[in-house]
């Protein structure tokens, strides 16, 4: 990596993926800062010393310009899954992503990696999924050299996704399924996604601009629950539940400060979450993704 590119800011750097990206880039020798709405909070434990936390406000052009200033790369890992009265999906995933891309384009020598997600579609009935797709279009229009990474559902060793489902398996004798549970998922280790970011920065300039990142295994949602139940030695009844009931439940839970179910999650479970055929992926970046089965998590 050229010296001018070694200064990197990870937007959403204290989040689930962002903090792993920060750690990986630190180990690559980069000078990394983490953009966050709460810069005074305690730093994630996995970081090495030296990460500056920088205040972000997606609605404020001057704040964002100051945050991005002086960095060779900008990594947009900002995730937003529940709308509030103050902020909508459009505010974050479209308007915010566009503002970031425009600022990068206006800065000579600065590059952008934008994290989206598999399944983003302009025609989705979900406001969340549409906003992610509209954000991609806005980013490509404002900053044509931006690299877009679309990970599948991400898991970690410390509980995310599989760990959350394991708790459900342990506590509920009857487990409700999204529909019939036939939605296909391609879970990807979050650290592999962080490695993909590092390869984009450290390797030759990406010849492809969009990468879909899925793990080596594809399971239906029903199969994942069956595997987790078998792994824990429990017999569980899997109960199909129509998506209309899930949408109603998510709407009723939406006013809670931290709802256990959101309309965005329901929308994502309505369609397969797997990398598309012919799309660039881990192989194009020289990465062999880790299997959740081989890691003993499934």
Of 2-16, 22-36, 114-128, 187-201, give the lowest mean pLDDT range.
2-16
pLDDT at site 160: 84
pLDDT at site 5: 58
- In percent, how much of the chain has pLDDT > 70? 97
Is the pLDDT score of 3 beyond 50? no
Name the 3-class secondary structure at 18: helix
Digit-coded pLDDT (tens) for 258-283: 888 888 889 889 999 999 988 999 99
pLDDT at site 206: 58
Over residues 184-208, the mean pLDDT reads 88
Q: Please give the distance of CA 36 from its chain centroid, rounded to a whole number.
A: 15
CA distance 141 to 169: 44
CA distance 246 to 263: 8
Closest by CA to 187, choosing from 296, 262, 290, 75, is 290
The mean of the pLDDT values for the chain is: 92
The DSSP result for 135-190, as a single string, is HHHHHHHH-TT-EEEEE-SEE-TTSTTHHHHHHHHHH-SEEEEEBTS--EE--EEH
Is the pLDDT score of 207 beyond 90? no
pLDDT at site 4: 46
Reported as a pLDDT band with limits 50, 70 and 90, residue 205 is low
pLDDT at site 93: 96
Digit-coded pLDDT (tens) for 102-137: 999 999 999 999 999 998 999 988 899 999 999 999
Instruction: Identify the helix (H) or strand (E) that includes residue 202.
Output: helix 190-202
Q: With the CA atoms of 99, 16, 188 and 195 taken in that order, what torsion angle do they form, in degrees rounded to the nearest 10? A: 70
Digit-coded pLDDT (tens) for 47-95: 999 899 999 999 999 999 999 999 999 999 999 888 888 899 999 999 9
Cβ(44)–Cβ(15) under 8 Å?
no
Cβ(212)–Cβ(116) under 8 Å?
no
Digit-coded pLDDT (tens) for 213-254: 999 999 999 999 999 999 989 899 999 999 999 999 999 998
């Amino acid at each position: 990596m050229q010296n001018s590119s070694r200064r990197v800011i990870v937007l959403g750097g204290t989040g689930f993926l962002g903090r792993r990206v920060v750690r990986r880039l630190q180990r690559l020798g980069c000078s990394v800062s983490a953009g966050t709405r709460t810069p005074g909070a305690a730093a994630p434990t996995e970081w090495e010393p030296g990460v500056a936390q920088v205040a972000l406000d997606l609605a404020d052009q001057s704040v964002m310009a100051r945050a991005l200033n002086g960095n060779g790369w900008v990594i947009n890992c900002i995730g937003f899954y529940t709308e509030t009265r103050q902020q909508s999906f459009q505010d974050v995933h479209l308007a915010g992503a566009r503002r970031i891309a425009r600022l990068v384009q206006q800065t000579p020598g600065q590059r952008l990696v934008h994290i989206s997600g598999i399944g983003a579609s302009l025609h989705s009935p979900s406001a969340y999924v549409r906003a992610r797709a509209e954000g991609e279009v806005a980013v490509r229009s404002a900053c044509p050299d931006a690299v877009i990474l679309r990970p599948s559902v991400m898991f970690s060793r410390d509980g995310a996704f599989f760990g959350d489902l394991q708790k459900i398996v342990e506590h509920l004798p009857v487990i409700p399924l999204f529909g019939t549970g036939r939605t296909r998922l391609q879970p990807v280790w979050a650290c592999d996604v962080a490695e993909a970011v590092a390869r984009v920065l450290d390797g030759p300039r990406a010849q492809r601009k969009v990468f879909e990142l899925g793990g080596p295994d594809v399971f239906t949602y029903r199969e994942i629950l069956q595997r987790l139940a078998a792994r824990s030695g429990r017999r569980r009844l899997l109960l199909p539940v129509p998506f209309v009931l899930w949408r109603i439940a998510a709407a009723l839970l939406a006013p809670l400060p931290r709802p256990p179910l959101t309309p965005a999650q329901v929308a994502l479970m309505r369609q397969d979450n797997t990398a598309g055929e012919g799309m660039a992926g881990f192989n194009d970046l020289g990465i062999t993704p880790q299997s959740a089965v081989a890691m003993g998590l499934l």
